[in-house]
Chain A
Amino acid sequence: MEFFERFAIPHPSPAIYASMVAIAVVSIGIVVGLTYFKKWGYLWREWLTTVDHKKIGIMYLISALLMLFRGGADAIMMRAQLATPDAKLLDAQHYNEIFTTHGVVMIMFMAMPFIFAFMNLIVPLQIGARDVAFPRLNALSFWLFFVGAMLFNISFVIGGSPDAGWTSYFPLAGNDFSESVGTNYYMLALQISGIGSLMTGINMCTTILKMRAPGMTLMKMPMFTWSAFIANIIIVFAFPVLTIALLMGTTDRLFGTHFFATTNGGMDMLWANFFWIWGHPEVYILILPAFGIYSEIISTFSRRNLYGYKSMVASMVLISLLSFLVWTHHFFTMGQGALTNSIFSITTMAIAVPTGVKIFNWLFTMWKGKIRFTVPMLYSVAFIPLFTIGGVTGVMLAMSAADYQYHNTMFLVAHFHNTIIPGVVFAMLAGLTYYWPKFFGFMLNEKIGKSTFWLLTVGFVLAFFPMYITGLDGQARRMYTYSEATGFGPLNMVSFVGAALMAIGFVTIVYNVYYSYKNSPRNIGSDPWDARSLEWATHTPVPEYNFARIPQISSSETFWDSKKNGHQLFKGELKEIHMPNNSGVPFIMGVIFFIAGFSFVFALWVPAVIALIGILVCLALRSFEQDHGRHISVEEIKETEAKIGGAK
């Protein structure tokens, strides 16, 4: 019995028991459904073993949407608890677990897979490639992310969720103050998905550097590809820091080392430094691809080329460099003195300059354009003023002396949601609506899409703008309750109403998918938005080889040139196409990583060692494996092309 006690929840509540039942029911439902409809083979052949960047992208997309609802459920519980003074909906421990998982899930398991989804779906198409550079590694990246997310998500029903905040500062996150296995889950789940992210970074950089179609010089790449390129360079430099910090944190918790302890030469603030040396570049990993998506959308729906292409690229390069020079602004109040704070205050404010250039370039892209207010464009238009507000409050926070008053308050919470929601989330939803027809063959309903947009925008303003005010009134973040005397009540109620509107908005996205699947016409052609860049030059749905012939590139808007200026995109005869084989190994490795992670969380050394050996065996087998891929014959290509709309 004693062995099983460790898996029990330290702070059970009816909601958690209900979730356990729900998880069990859904899992049984999936297994029964797959068996009944005889879909196990389909699932294995088409999805679990796939190395196709488009299918991997779709799996990232589905995971991101699922995690959006998980993190959103956390958010609405927090807002409900804070809506009234002295509320008893959640106790302190549950509230602490919920804001911790909200942060981790939203950043690591919602925003990251969302941008990876778009990188996978769009980058190879935009550069005229047939897949990424290392397709099997790409599948492994996905499965590592996925099992990391699953490992993190089972924490609240097995052993207890982490409760030290998404920043997990030591010594609070150490064994002395966080006794449950929650923080072990945090360390291991982030470690596993982080390794996946690092591999994606290497993969995408290689793809963009080596696999561009003939004629596409670096300065002729579409803006989303540029943004993905820079984001992945940041990943390659930033994620190793996280990997090492998590490793040190794990050994502190499991093996009694003292890296971040406050005794025996350990140093608690070392964790904070490591965390933010990764953490600050991480926000640019999220926002740059979002900028890329906005660039594509604004240009398409203004019917204009992107204004200031070169300065757009230059500003992203500058942002990527500065992103590594600002981490200390997350703890100006640590007491490192006026000189250090001054330096980091200036580097932080400097980021406003390249970001401002981008804002003005988007405005000038709309200048003299012909603006159509489609759903993706509405998100982009709302993004500009809302993100500007988020940006300027960032400059305010960068003034370190004043930051002594903003730090750890709702003002800060308002600021980073003000950049992440209109910046990243709106971009993802705009991208989702914009690229949906490319991958699913039908458009999402505009009318429902517009109501979603309004619900989210109005909800966002109501939910987060009041926090600027309560922050300046002394409401610290992460407080599970406050007394009536503080006067925070009314504004927190407004926040709750806003959060509720946003929740309704997110539900309408699901309804939109269902409604459009039932009702949208399927004869939309391959270019429903009259777009400009290369991803729209191939068929809808995209054949597995993307392009029957590799396109010839003339500019960053090659597809537009081919439509308007008579540029010939596809030349020459059809040739045999070399494609990678599917493989079950990435999925199997994912499962083994999951077992290893789970065993480490509970310090079950025997399965942990067996799983680690299993990982090494998989790696060794791969290095001895001879797999030269397969070839699609010209006849087969002709057949496919004829079936999906004639050879182009």
Chain B
Amino acid sequence: MIKKWTFLTSVMALLLILTGCEPLLVLDPKGPQAERQASDIMLSIGIMAVIVIVVMVMLGYILIKYRASKQSEDYEPPHLEGNKWVEAICVGIPVLIVAYLSFVSVQSNYIVESAPEGYEEQEPLVIYASSSNWKWHFSYPEQGVETVNYLYIPTDRPIEFKLYSYGPITSFWIPQLGGQKYAMSDMVTTLHLAADSPGEFMGRNANFSGKGFAENTFNVTAMSQDDFDEWVDEVHETAEPLTESEFQQLLEPGHLGQMTFTGTHLEFSPAPEHNHGTNTDSDTNAESEDHSSHHEHHSTDESEHTDHSGH
């Protein structure tokens, strides 16, 4: 038994050395949501480690003390029924732990499902992130920009991702900014993220979606609001507009590099509504109008944000 535990410890030590050089992505948060999740993870690892250690110590003690080779030939173990107090403790302590973790979990649920902490006051930047086999399309209705397989975001501003899919269920995930959420073809889901500091992050589809799944990744670059605005201006000067036929070609299964367009596909291929794809044509048109008015609303607000960005 002792041999076994020394072995296990050395294995764990080895793993720590192997990974010690760089912090793990999930535990190296760059935004408030990922931070909350990382702190939940560390908290639960701590509590769980105590439980595992308690069980292991009890087991080790019992195995060493009551092994047959240590006892006399004629020792006959007693007949013991359950003891009320022992069982009450065995139920009570786990109940307390679970109750505490439930409390934390519920609290965190509401936090990650709303605007990032510290950014509640700001108007969020809305980005539509849609997946097709096996690419990501990012539409910035407010800026009139669309990119493929890369994402530029301003720091210190809440970002509201509207997720949906042109195909199988995918899952939009930028580990260092926050946890993932599904993108589905018959409804739009919302993910709230924010980046605290500039940097480059890995983003990917985490949900298996067929042959090209492994390479279904995108690059995320967070930059200051000024740099972001500069990039938007540059796109408007250099990029071609996105046409409907071009977009249809982009949707064909396969992999593409990074691409940039002006205008968004939302204008001719709007995001699905929550009523599971039963829209009639007139509904769809009405929606796209809704979207554009929504965008105008954002762009009028934009100047305000720029003013606030100094805070």
- A residues neighboring B (CB under 8 Å): 92-93, 96, 163-165, 169, 171-172, 177, 262-269, 302-305, 307-311, 331, 333-335, 337-338, 341-342, 345-346, 349-350, 352-353, 356-357, 359-361, 363-364, 366-373, 381-382, 384-385, 388-389, 392-393, 395-396, 398-405, 407-409, 457-458, 461-462, 465-466, 469, 472-474, 476-482, 487, 490-491, 494
With A and B bound together, what is the CA distance between A369 and B7 in angstroms? 27
Per-residue CB proximity of B1-19 to A under 8 Å, as 1/0?
Answer: 1001001100110110011
Is the CB–CB distance between B178 and A404 below 8 Å?
A: yes
Is the CB–CB distance between A402 and B179 below 8 Å?
A: yes
B209 CB–A CB distance under 8 Å: yes
In the complex, given contacts A177-B167, A349-B105, A396-B44, what are 9 additional A-B residue pairs having Cβ atoms less than 8 angstroms apart?
Answer: A165-B208, A262-B186, A338-B113, A363-B59, A367-B62, A381-B59, A402-B105, A405-B175, A407-B206
CB contact between A461 and one of B11, B173, B212, B214 (< 8 Å): that residue: B11
- Some 19 contacts from A to B, beta carbons below 8 A apart, are A92-B213, A165-B208, A171-B185, A172-B168, A172-B209, A263-B186, A302-B77, A304-B77, A305-B81, A308-B81, A311-B87, A333-B182, A334-B181, A366-B62, A369-B66, A404-B181, A407-B171, A466-B15, A476-B206
Is the CB–CB distance between A308 and B55 below 8 Å?
A: no
With A and B bound together, what is the CA distance between A333 and B178 in angstroms? 12
**A395-B101 contact in complex given A263-B277, A373-B67, A385-B55, C-beta closer than 8 Å:** yes
Is the CB–CB distance between B106 and A405 below 8 Å?
A: no
With A and B bound together, what is the CA distance between A145 and B248 in angstroms? 46
Query: Could you say which residues of chain B place their CB within 8 Å of the CB of A357?
Result: 87, 90-91, 94
**A400-B52 contact in complex given A169-B168, A371-B67, A465-B11, C-beta closer than 8 Å:** no
With A and B bound together, what is the CA distance between A269 and B87 in angstroms? 41
Query: Could you say which residues of chain B place their CB within 8 Å of the CB of A393?
Result: 48
- B residues neighboring A (CB under 8 Å): 1, 4, 7-8, 11-12, 14-15, 18-19, 22, 24-27, 34, 36-38, 40-41, 44-45, 48, 51-52, 55-56, 58-59, 62-63, 66-68, 71, 75-82, 86-87, 90-91, 94-95, 97-98, 101-102, 104-106, 108-114, 133, 163, 167-169, 171, 173, 175, 178-182, 184-187, 189-190, 202, 204-214, 276-278
Is the CB–CB distance between B52 and A385 below 8 Å?
A: yes
**A349-B181 contact in complex given A305-B80, A310-B82, C-beta closer than 8 Å:** no
Is the CB–CB distance between A395 and B26 below 8 Å?
A: no
Is the CB–CB distance between A337 and B209 below 8 Å?
A: no
Q: A446 to nearest B CB, angstroms? A: 15
Identify which of B81, B101, B208, B277 gathers the most chain A CB atoms within 10 Å of its CB: B208
CB contact between B52 and one of A262, A388, A457, A472 (< 8 Å): that residue: A388
Task: Report, nearest first, the 8 A-B pairs whose CB atoms are least far apart.
Answer: A404-B179, A335-B189, A401-B108, A308-B82, A392-B48, A172-B168, A408-B206, A338-B109
Is the CB–CB distance between A371 and B63 below 8 Å?
A: yes
With A and B bound together, what is the CA distance between A200 and B63 in angstroms? 38
Is the CB–CB distance between B15 and A368 below 8 Å?
A: no
Query: Could you say which residues of chain B place their CB within 8 Å of the CB of A338?
Result: 106, 109-110, 112-114
**A388-B51 contact in complex given A474-B175, A474-B202, C-beta closer than 8 Å:** yes
With A and B bound together, what is the CA distance between A350 and B104 in angstroms? 14
Is the CB–CB distance between A469 and B19 below 8 Å?
A: yes
Is the CB–CB distance between B171 and A408 below 8 Å?
A: yes
Query: Could you say which residues of chain B place their CB within 8 Å of the CB of A331?
Result: 182
Identify which of B55, B133, B189 gathers the most chain A CB atoms within 10 Å of its CB: B55
CB contact between A267 and one of B55, B59, B114, B276 (< 8 Å): that residue: B276
CB contact between A360 and one of B41, B90, B202 (< 8 Å): that residue: B90
Is the CB–CB distance between A401 and B77 below 8 Å?
A: no
CB contact between B15 and one of A382, A396, A465 (< 8 Å): that residue: A465
Is the CB–CB distance between B62 and A363 below 8 Å?
A: yes
Q: B50 to nearest A CB, angstroms? A: 10
Is the CB–CB distance between A353 and B168 below 8 Å?
A: no
When C-beta atoms are compared, the residue in chain A nearest to B184 turns out to be A268
With A and B bound together, what is the CA distance between A343 and B211 in angstroms? 35
Is the CB–CB distance between A352 and B94 below 8 Å?
A: yes
Is the CB–CB distance between A481 and B214 below 8 Å?
A: yes
Identify which of A266, A369, A403, A462 gathers the most chain B CB atoms within 10 Å of its CB: A369
Is the CB–CB distance between A342 and B109 below 8 Å?
A: yes
Query: Could you say which residues of chain B place their CB within 8 Å of the CB of A409?
Result: 206
Identify which of A353, A398, A494 gathers the most chain B CB atoms within 10 Å of its CB: A353
Is the CB–CB distance between B36 and A171 below 8 Å?
A: no
Query: Could you say which residues of chain A place their CB within 8 Å of the CB of B26?
Result: 405, 472-474
Chain A binding surface, main DSSP class? helix
Is the CB–CB distance between B204 and A476 below 8 Å?
A: yes
Q: A96 to nearest B CB, angstroms? A: 7
Q: B116 to nearest A CB, angstroms? A: 13
With A and B bound together, what is the CA distance between A163 and B210 in angstroms? 8
Query: Could you say which residues of chain A place their CB within 8 Å of the CB of B207?
Result: 408
Is the CB–CB distance between A172 and B208 below 8 Å?
A: yes
With A and B bound together, what is the CA distance between A357 and B58 in angstroms? 14
Query: Could you say which residues of chain A place their CB within 8 Å of the CB of B4?
Result: 382, 457
Is the CB–CB distance between A349 and B101 below 8 Å?
A: yes
Is the CB–CB distance between B179 and A333 below 8 Å?
A: yes
CB contact between B212 and one of A92, A369, A389, A482 (< 8 Å): that residue: A92
Q: B170 to nearest A CB, angstroms? A: 10
Query: Could you say which residues of chain A place their CB within 8 Å of the CB of B276?
Result: 262, 265-267
Identify which of A311, A337, A389, A473 gathers the most chain B CB atoms within 10 Å of its CB: A473
Query: Could you say which residues of chain B place their CB within 8 Å of the CB of A473?
Result: 19, 24-26
Q: B1 to nearest A CB, angstroms? A: 8
Q: B193 to nearest A CB, angstroms? A: 11
CB contact between B45 and one of A96, A373, A396 (< 8 Å): that residue: A396
Query: Could you say which residues of chain A place their CB within 8 Å of the CB of B79?
Result: 304-305
Is the CB–CB distance between B55 and A363 below 8 Å?
A: yes
Is the CB–CB distance between B66 and A371 below 8 Å?
A: yes
With A and B bound together, what is the CA distance between A407 and B37 in angstroms? 12
Query: Could you say which residues of chain B place their CB within 8 Å of the CB of A366?
Result: 62-63, 66
Is the CB–CB distance between B52 and A392 below 8 Å?
A: yes
Query: Could you say which residues of chain A place their CB within 8 Å of the CB of B206?
Result: 407-409, 476
With A and B bound together, what is the CA distance between A262 and B181 in angstroms? 18
Q: B264 to nearest A CB, angstroms? A: 22
Q: B92 to nearest A CB, angstroms? A: 9
Q: A170 to nearest B CB, angstroms? A: 8
With A and B bound together, what is the CA distance between A395 and B101 in angstroms? 9
Query: Could you say which residues of chain A place their CB within 8 Å of the CB of B204?
Result: 474, 476
Q: B15 to nearest A CB, angstroms? A: 6
Q: A406 to nearest B CB, angstroms? A: 8
CB contact between A345 and one of B106, B173, B213 (< 8 Å): that residue: B106
**A345-B109 contact in complex given A363-B58, A392-B51, A472-B25, C-beta closer than 8 Å:** yes
Q: B35 to nearest A CB, angstroms? A: 11
Q: B94 to nearest A CB, angstroms? A: 4
CB contact between B82 and one of A307, A334, A481, A494 (< 8 Å): that residue: A307
Query: Could you say which residues of chain A place their CB within 8 Å of the CB of B277?
Result: 262-266
CB contact between B108 and one of A169, A395, A402 (< 8 Å): that residue: A402
With A and B bound together, what is the CA distance between A401 and B113 in angstroms? 9
Q: A58 to nearest B CB, angstroms? A: 32
Is the CB–CB distance between A93 and B105 below 8 Å?
A: no
Query: Could you say which residues of chain B place their CB within 8 Å of the CB of A308?
Result: 81-82, 87
Is the CB–CB distance between A302 and B66 below 8 Å?
A: yes
With A and B bound together, what is the CA distance between A303 and B74 in angstroms? 12
Query: Could you say which residues of chain A place their CB within 8 Å of the CB of B82?
Result: 307-311, 361
Is the CB–CB distance between A478 and B213 below 8 Å?
A: yes
With A and B bound together, what is the CA distance between A393 and B104 in angstroms? 16
**A337-B113 contact in complex given A372-B68, A385-B55, A399-B104, C-beta closer than 8 Å:** yes
With A and B bound together, what is the CA distance between A642 and B202 in angstroms? 74
